[in-house]
Each structure stands twice: as C-alpha cells, then as structure tokens.
Chain A
Amino acid sequence: MSTQPEIPEEDHLLATEYALRLLTKDEEAAFEARMLDDRDLEALVAEAVNQFAPLSDEIAEERPSPAVKTALLADLFGEADTPTSIWDRIGLWRATSFAATAAAVVMAVMLVTQQAPAPLPPASERGALFVSEIAAEDNSLRVLAVYDAATGGLQINRTAGAPAPDRALELWAIAGDNAPVSLGLLPADAKGQLSLPEALRADVGGLVLAISDEPTGGSPTGAPTGAVLAVGQVTDI
C-alpha cells in the first residue's frame, strides 16, 4: 500500500470517515467541497472504500421480489423516449473517445451525496437550486454549475481542465432532443457567472449541459463545431 508522507494523517482519517459515512451531513458537505478542489482526497476515499469493501462479503444475498425489477424497468424504459446514457444522447457530436481514470470513478461512487460547493446564499434569499457536474469521462475537464431559480444565474466553478491554446470552451444546454443552445463561453477565470436563457428556465431540471471545444470567440455557427469534451445532467438539490 502506498502511504504518501506528504498527506496529513488528518486527511487520511477524514477520507476514511467519509467513506464509512461516519460524519454528519455538514461535515460530509465540507469534505465534499474540499474534494472538488483536491484530487488527492478523492484517491484517499477510493483507497478507503477498497480497504473496507471485503467486509461486505459476509452480507447474505436476498432475492428481491420480481415486482422490483418490473417497476424498475417500467420506470426507466416505460416511455419510448426515455433518455439513455447522456454520453449516448450526445453521441452524434462526439469526436473523440476518452480513457477513463480513477478519479472519475470515485466521483461517480460518491456523487450520491455530492453537494454544491460553498458559498451559496442563505436559503431564505434564494430560489430552488439545481446543480450539474459537467465532466469529461477522464475528468480532464470538470465544471460544477449551480443554477439559482430565483435569479436565473448559473454559477460556474471549473475545478479541472482549461481551454487548449488559442481555443475556447463553450457551454451548451440541451433540452430533450432539441438542438443545443449556447450559454456562452466559460469564463477565463475558474469561477464566474453565466445566465440561463428565459426559455430554458421552466424545465431546468431536465437539461443536459455540455462543453465543447471552439475557436476563440465561440462557435461561429451557433451550434457546437468542436469536440464535446464534457457533459452533465442537471439535478435539483
């Protein structure tokens, strides 16, 4: 096992406590906020998850009643236009395939509890919040977008990746099978603010956000012209 001396013991412990779910909701949120900016922490969580995983060997299997599978399949596939994997949905524009890495898995594992990073306005001063983690499959680009229904503002926090030299990153919103709508270029700084067009605000919870590689100044055509680098589903929090 690799014990890296530069990692404080406290972080090892916190990662283990987080993986075991010993912490309170607030402590979990604080750790998740740190994890967004610190890939080492993700690796520590993965390590802890792996270490304790054998404990589940002793858990006896329990056959679920057949109704569970029926309900599951009806929920997922009952309607003809059920969205499939979001990468699949935007497959038309995918120009490149990506190798996935360890970090993506951990975020995928833990995203069941993931929350938006601080700071957010107090609940009393804001509307419903929606969050989308727009990530490349290999996490080489990762942007957290938080939408505040009260203001229509989209708070952007780029936690990994950057535009290629002389290129720009453009953010798109996709509603159902409609063509992507540009939300503008990602700010040059890691953090910034964009706004969601009025027409998209009603069904924000069903949007997919995507980031494409574009010429400086943005797509000249109004549709993505470069590779779609990252996608994320919008969910309410």
Chain B
Amino acid sequence: MTTTSDIEHMISRVALGDRTAFSNLYDATSAKLLGVALRVLNNRASAEDVLQETFMKVWRYADRYSRNGMSPMTWLITIARNTAIDRLRATKDESDVADVMDTMPSSGPTPEQSAIASSEAGRIMGCMEQLDDDKRDAVRGAYLDGLSYADLAARFDVPLNTMRTWLRRSLISLRECMSQ
C-alpha cells in the first residue's frame, strides 16, 4: 500500500528530475487519476490522453508542489480533473450543449469507496447529506462530472441565473455546515 508520505516523497524526487520516481509515481497513482478523467470525459481514449497530459504537467511542475495541508493526491487529482475539464470544454465548444445530458454518468457511490475516512472527508459527506437530493446531485455533478453552471442549467432544465442562485445557496449552506 502506497502511503501519502510515499507519494509526497516521489513528487519531491520528481521535482529533482528523478525518472525512476516519476515512473513509480505513475504506477502508484495513474489508476485513480484515469478514473477521475474518465468520470469527467466518459470516453476512455480521451481520458487516457488527459492522463498523459496530466503526468506531463506533473513532471514539469512537480517542483511547485509543497507540503501545505493539501495532500499530494488532492494536488494530483486537481490537475487531472482540471485537465479533463479543459479538454471537455475545448471539444464541447463546437458541439451541442444538450449532449451533456447524454454523457451524464449515473451517480451514486461505487463499491470502491476509499478507505480514507479523515474528519474532513466525513464532514463534507455529512454536510452533503443535509442538502436536498437535487441540490446534492448538482454539487456532485459539478465536482465529479465537471459540469459548469450552463451544463447544470441544461441538465435541470432551468434558466442559467436560476441555476446559479440555486446552487450558490447550496454552496453557502455547505460552507456553513462545514464550519460548524
């Protein structure tokens, strides 16, 4: 089992140009990062492209990762997620927004729930539970599927401003809940 500090150590070696560490980091984390990209893109070939791009960024910017309370996996997942969303939006610019609805993966926890049960994790999960079902789906759609306000408005068939007002209220509730 690769621990957080193992991954942190690998990233710090990668920052020094250590190719073996880079290879090990890939082996330890690529499956999770591909899952993240696949969840956003729903297309394996595109997701594998994004995975490759993600690791090129990691190689290039590893020297800018530092220990600061952001776990190394959070950092890596954020890069993969943002790269996937950039890809999704670059290709979607030319396609019909309605396609988004067809590519929505079914929501719901997978059997592969991570065993990590940090208090932070417990807190957002608990606070998400307090949202109405549709609002919880919207927040999950934003985070997991990379949906923008425009995508969510199309999915829920409401005007963009309504969607924004509606989701902002949920984000405020979440923040209040998590700060308790």
Q: Which A residues have a C-beta under 8 Å from some C-beta of B?
A: 1, 3, 9, 12-13, 16-17, 20-25, 46, 49-65, 68-69, 71-73, 75-77, 84-88, 99-102, 104-105, 107-113, 135, 137, 233
Cross-chain contact B110 with A55 (CB below 8 angstroms): no
Give the size of the chain B interface in residues (CB under 8 angstroms): 81
Stretch at the interface among B2-10, B94-102, B113-121: B113-121
Cross-chain contact B179 with A3 (CB below 8 angstroms): yes
With beta carbons under 8 angstroms apart, the residue of B32, B63, B74, B175 that contacts A16 is B175
With beta carbons under 8 angstroms apart, the residue of A54, A59, A63, A85 that contacts B16 is A85
Complex Cα spacing A50 to B78, Å = 10
Tell me whether chain B's interface is mostly helix, strand or loop, or mixed: helix
Which residues of chain A are within 8 angstroms of B158 by Cβ–Cβ distance? none
Provide 7 A-B residue pairs closer than 8 Å at the C-beta atoms, listed in order of the A residue: A22-B142, A61-B35, A62-B31, A62-B44, A68-B48, A85-B14, A85-B63
Cross-chain contact A55 with B171 (CB below 8 angstroms): no
Complex Cα spacing A233 to B64, Å = 13
Complex Cα spacing A13 to B167, Å = 10
Contact A104 to B64, CB < 8 A, known contacts A57-B116, A58-B110, A110-B82? yes
Which residues of chain B are within 8 angstroms of A99 by Cβ–Cβ distance? 66
Cross-chain contact A101 with B31 (CB below 8 angstroms): no
When C-beta atoms are compared, the residue in chain A nearest to B164 turns out to be: A22
Cross-chain contact A100 with B64 (CB below 8 angstroms): yes
B140 at the interface (CB under 8 A from A): yes
B162 at the interface (CB under 8 A from A): no
Contact A57 to B121, CB < 8 A, known contacts A21-B142, A112-B86? yes
Convert B26-40 into 0s and 1s, putting 1 for each residue whose CB lies closer than 8 angstroms to a CB of A: 100011101110110
Cross-chain contact B70 with A46 (CB below 8 angstroms): yes
Complex Cα spacing A65 to B120, Å = 33
B52 at the interface (CB under 8 A from A): yes
Cross-chain contact A72 with B26 (CB below 8 angstroms): yes
CB distance from A34 to the nearest CB of B (A): 18
Complex Cα spacing A9 to B169, Å = 12
Cross-chain contact B78 with A76 (CB below 8 angstroms): no
With beta carbons under 8 angstroms apart, the residue of A13, A23, A55, A108 that contacts B144 is A55
Which residues of chain A are within 8 angstroms of B63 by Cβ–Cβ distance? 85-88, 137
Cross-chain contact A59 with B171 (CB below 8 angstroms): no
When C-beta atoms are compared, the residue in chain A nearest to B112 turns out to be: A60
CB distance from B63 to the nearest CB of A (A): 5
Contact A65 to B62, CB < 8 A, known contacts A54-B124, A55-B140, A60-B35? no
Complex Cα spacing A58 to B56, Å = 25
Interface residues of B in 133-152 (CB under 8 A from A): 139-140, 142-144, 146-150, 152
Cross-chain contact A1 with B38 (CB below 8 angstroms): no
Cross-chain contact A105 with B82 (CB below 8 angstroms): no
When C-beta atoms are compared, the residue in chain A nearest to B116 turns out to be: A57
Cross-chain contact B61 with A108 (CB below 8 angstroms): yes
Which residues of chain A are within 8 angstroms of B124 by Cβ–Cβ distance? 51-52, 54-55
Cross-chain contact B143 with A65 (CB below 8 angstroms): no
Known pairs A9-B172, A46-B68, A100-B64. 9 more at Cβ < 8 A? A16-B175, A21-B85, A51-B124, A51-B175, A58-B144, A60-B111, A62-B31, A88-B16, A105-B66
Complex Cα spacing A68 to B128, Å = 35
Contact A69 to B30, CB < 8 A, known contacts A49-B70, A50-B74, A109-B78? yes
